[in-house]
Structures are given as structure tokens and as C-alpha cells.
Chain A
Amino acid sequence: MFWEHFAVWVAAFLTLGIYSFLYKDNPWYKLCESIFVGISAGYWFVTLFWDNIYGKFWVGVFPPTHVNELGESVRTAQPDYWLLVGAVLGLLMLLRLVPKIGWLSRWSLAFIVGATAGFYLINYFSSNVMRQVQDTIMPLFGSGFDASAYVIIGNIVVAVGTFTGLIYFFFSKEHRGAFGFSAKVGIFFLMVTFGASFGYTVMSRMSLLIGRIDFLLSDWLGLIR
């Protein structure tokens, strides 16, 4: 019971310390900031070690064994020696600590950047380009002018917004004349979208604030039951 109360008091102390930054930078905030940064860095180190170095690499290369009913020691899975490639690339990163051969760490960086770019190319191309074009190709007035005014306006907004938005992000031509006007229409659509997104996200941030205030007033002070 004592430790539960103690944890609530510590959480309230840290919450108020972080909020004190809204007034100005102060020693209380600095203390909370240092605790947050220090603990989180340590937490991530431990998490990454147990998740990756032990959980993926060590267990993958040296699968645990168990004793079966015949008393034999049996592996729970086949060793995955491909993981050694990743381990070697990881070790190359550590060579930065040796200035003479530190350049070898660039191989690991190059592998990560290149492999990721290739891996995501098709997925992004498929979802962000092809599917978007496909979904934009639609009859503006429905089949035989049967769509409602609401649907027609929606269709026109999607088609014109996508087309002019693409014009805005076309970098091989100066934005002048009709092309420039279309680009301005495109940026207008973008700004309207950003405005809506801003309001939506601010409201979701309010829910985070309410969550913290709820913690302070109910868990800590007990003013709300």
C-alpha cells in the first residue's frame, strides 16, 4: 500500500515538474528532464539488448534446448545462421571506436539505407501512387447523372485536389501562367487539409491533457471519485 501511494506521489511530482516548463525553465523541470532522459535511455538500452541481441540473435543462432521424454536434449528450433550477417554488420558499427578502421562502419549504414529503400519501394509505390490514382478515377456525376449534389461535390474535390496537388509538387516546370494557377489551387487544397488536420490533432492532444489532469485530481488528490 505504501509503495502504491509512493508511486502516485512520484508520478504527480514528475508530472507537475514537466508542466512547470510552461511557466519557464527551472530546476524542477531540469531534474524531471534529467530523470526522464536518463531512465528512458537506460530502458531502451536494456530493451534493445534483450529484444535484439538476446531475443533475436542469441536465441536464433543458439536455440534453447529441452529434454524430451526419452531424456534427450532436443533443440526447440533450427539455428538461423543468417543472423550472423546482421551480427557482423553490427560489429562493423562498433569499429567506429577504432579510428583507423572506423570507415568500415559505413558498410553497415550503406546496407541499412539501401536494403530499406529497396524493401519499401514496391509497397510505397503500390499504396501511395497506384492505389491513389486508381481511387481518383471515378465518374464525377455518378452513373448517368444519378449522384446527389453532395457526392458530385465530393468527387470533384477529390479529382481536382489530387490533380492540382500533383501539379504543385511538379518540380520540372516553373509555376507560372495556368500551371502556376493550378499549383495555387493545389496548395489551397493542401492548406484546407492541414487546417482540418490541425483541429483534429489539437483535440486529440486535449484528451492527453485531460488524462493527466484526471490522474492528478483523482489518483493523486482524490478530488474526483
Chain B
Amino acid sequence: MQYIRPTDGGRRSRLAFGFLSILIVFAALSAPVVAQDVVADTPADTTAVSHVPAPATSVVVDDYKYDFGDRLNLSWVPSIDDQIGERMVLGYIVYRSINGGEFKPLESLLPGASSFEDKDLHADSSYVYYVAAFSETDTVPSIHTQAHQPEREFIHFDLLWLFVIAALISFSVIYFIWMARAGKDLFVRKIAGLDAVDDAIGRATEMGRPILFIPGIQDMDDVQTIAGLTILGRVAKQIADYDTRIRMPVSRSLVMTAARETIKAAYQIAGRPDAYSDDMVNYVTDEQFGYVAAVDGIMVRERPATIFLLGAFFAESLILAETGNSVGAIQIAGTARPAQLPFFIAACDFTLIGEELFAASAYLSGEPKQLGSLKGQDVGKGIAMAVILIGVISVTLGKAFDIEIFNWIADALSTVFSKAGGS
């Protein structure tokens, strides 16, 4: 599934319009037929038209569970005259009174409706409802509900297991950060491709060509962009040491700001603040393919020796990677977007797959916080692996041989994770 910015919204609108037009034409064609049928079948039956439909019954208002006290659920049993084939009821109108005030129509619903969710309410107000079933000639109200005040719940107990597991992993992260800060050596396995970073920068230096760094097209609120910029810090320090040029076109203003800060700090650490220039990072445009057109142009004109593609990429990934490949650059890519990884693997020399991007960021920076987070996440993965292993074995044996203990384990795990998953 490719992400394309809403530039194709017009196309979607035209499709929607076309679909709507077909529906309208269909309705227009079918309406006279229905009318003719009615006229033909009941030419003298005028009593049916004036017959008053039965009201909706059992109208009940309930509090919406686990909200901010701003929603109520209204439910009812539809009118007995609201049945497929003999549908006299054309719909329902929900009426609402706030704090004993006048009833006002709130929403009109289609026939067959049996519930309504009232939103944007106030927890300090009380609400009374009734539902009116209407036919062509009559509107019949139901009895009124009891007055009800929406309640606010401060704890979502359905997510208790999610909280427990998230807390376990969070404590692991904190523990490992604390260990890293205390100077304990935390082992992180070598990630393929990271060794190539130094070689790639050295290659650019020897060839006298610039290094192009592309941090994806997302903003600073995307963790992949942050991981890309963390690696940029390490790369920029090396570039400053080797006195190589770096070129970094970006598609977001905030990323430009953060990237400049990162490179500036790296140059200062390398002891070469004088060599830093704001021109190393420049904003192009927020438009996805406008950015691609500009970056492709930079690639073929400046012919960088090394290209880093590290961050969140969408439909532009293959265009960028292929152009980089065509100019003979060594390319190191990394993204956590599964749909874009195939293109990077096909067109780049080294690819950091998914979480390897974040691991590389931690590995290269050596920061206790990042290393601790990585180790803490490994605890989470360990839990997931253990649960999958135990769960699959239990449910397979339990279902195949009807062994009670295995069924119990499988049910327990299923309950915990269905609650934790919010289902």
C-alpha cells in the first residue's frame, strides 16, 4: 500500500461523484417502478397510507463505558411496522431534552436503526430522550427515557493487561538505561551495513564528491525521522573529521531546524565549528513528488559519492534509490516502512530493515538512553516470543487432543492479549 499525499483527492472526489451519480440514477429509475407497483397492487387501499405506525419500544439510555463523560448510548427496539417487505416506517427522529428543557430533534435515522450514540455532551448536564418513528403521514413518539448524566471514568480497566505488559517493558527500559549510565557494557549485536558507513564516507572523501543525506519525507513527530537524524549526528562528525561536504535537502521545516542543530553539534564535537554552514541543510518543499524531483536533480547534477536514505519513505523510495544507483553512488538505506523496504533492498547497497534503523541509531550513538531502550525492547520481544511459543503449542495440543491444561493456558493467554490489544 503506497502512501500518496492527498494530491489525488480530486480523483477520489470524481470517483465518489461518479458513484453517487450512479446511485441517484439507479434510485430515479427504480422509484417509479415501486410507485407503479404500489398503485397497481393497492389501487383503492387508502387505509394503508393513513395507518399510524407502531412506536419504537424499550428505549433505553446507557452511559458510554470508559469515556470522558461526553457520550451516551441510546438503544431501542424498532417499530413492528419497520420490517423488510412491509416497511411502513420511513425512519426515526431522536429528540433530546437537556436539563429538563424543551425537546429538540437531534438526529434523523434510517429505517431499521436501533441505536444512536450521542456525543459532545457535558458530564454536569442531564439528558432525556425519546425516539419518534415516522411514516409518510404520521410521526409516533416513544415513551421518554429516564434522565441520565454521562459519567467520566478515569481508569480504563479493559486495558489493564496492556498497562501491565507496557509497564513491564518500560521498567526494563529504565533498568537498562540505569545500567548503561552506571557504565555497564550492554551487548548489542553487530548490525550488517553499519561497517559500511565509515567506508562510504571515506569513499566520498577520496573521490572529492559530496555526501547526500535524505531523512525521509516525514516530520519530527515520526520516530524514523528521529532515528535518521541520530545517525546523521554520527555521520556528520565523521564528515567533519574527513573534511568532506554534506548536502541535505529536506521536505519539512522542523526537520531542517533539527538537522542543522545536529550537524552543528557534530562539527563542534569534531572541533571544526568554523567549517559548519547552514547551507548544508536546505528546505525544498512539503510536496512529496516536488521534493523527489528536486532531489533527483541534485543527484544527477552533483553526483554524490555516497547517499544515505534513512527515515520514513513512501512512494518516492524507488525513484530516489534508482536515481542514486544510476549516478554510481554507494547507498545506505533504512526505513521501518515495510512497503518501501523491497525497493531499498533492490536498489541500495546496504539496507537497515525495520527496527535495525533504530538499533543502528542506538549502536552508533552509544547513548545510554538509546541503548537502554533497545535492550528493554528486546525484553518485550523475548516476552512475545515466549508467549507465541507457549501459546501455539498449548492451543495446538489442546484443540487436537482436548487436553484441559493446554486449553486453559491457551484461553488465559488469549484473554490477556485480547484485552491488551483492546479487542
A residues sitting closer than 8 Å to B (CB atoms) are: 18, 21, 24-25, 29-30, 32-33, 36-37, 39-41, 43-44, 48, 93, 96, 105-106, 109, 112-113, 116-117, 121-122, 125-127, 129-131, 133-134, 136-145, 159, 162-163, 166-167, 169-175, 190-191, 193-195, 197-198, 201, 204-205
Contacts and interface: CB of A to CB of B under 8 A. Distances in A.
B338 A197 contact: yes
What 3 pairs across the A-B complex have the smallest Cβ distances?
A: A40-B287, A137-B391, A40-B290
B389 interface: yes
Interface in B366-398: 374-375, 378, 380-382, 384-385, 387-389, 391-392, 395-396, 398
Contacts of B382: 170
A214 to B, nearest CB: 12
A198 to B, nearest CB: 4
B164 to A, nearest CB: 11
A169 B221 CA distance: 24
A130 B417 contact: yes
A142 B220 CA distance: 46
Contacts of B395: 137-139
Interface of A is mostly: helix
B165 interface: yes
Given A25-B297, A30-B297, A197-B339, A133 B162 contact: no
Interface of B: 2, 159, 162, 165-166, 187-189, 191, 219-223, 226, 254, 257-258, 261, 284-287, 289-291, 293-294, 296-297, 300-301, 318, 338-339, 341-343, 345-346, 353-356, 359, 374-375, 378, 380-382, 384-385, 387-389, 391-392, 395-396, 398-400, 402, 410, 413-414, 417-418, 420-423
B374 A201 contact: no
A137 B410 contact: yes
A140 B188 contact: no
B378 to A, nearest CB: 4
Nearest to A137: B391
A173 B382 CA distance: 11
Contact of A37 (B254, B285, B338): B285
Contact of A25 (B286, B301, B346, B399): B301
A38 to B, nearest CB: 8
A225 B395 CA distance: 60
A131 B395 CA distance: 17
Given A136-B388, A137-B387, A130 B162 contact: yes
B341 A194 contact: yes
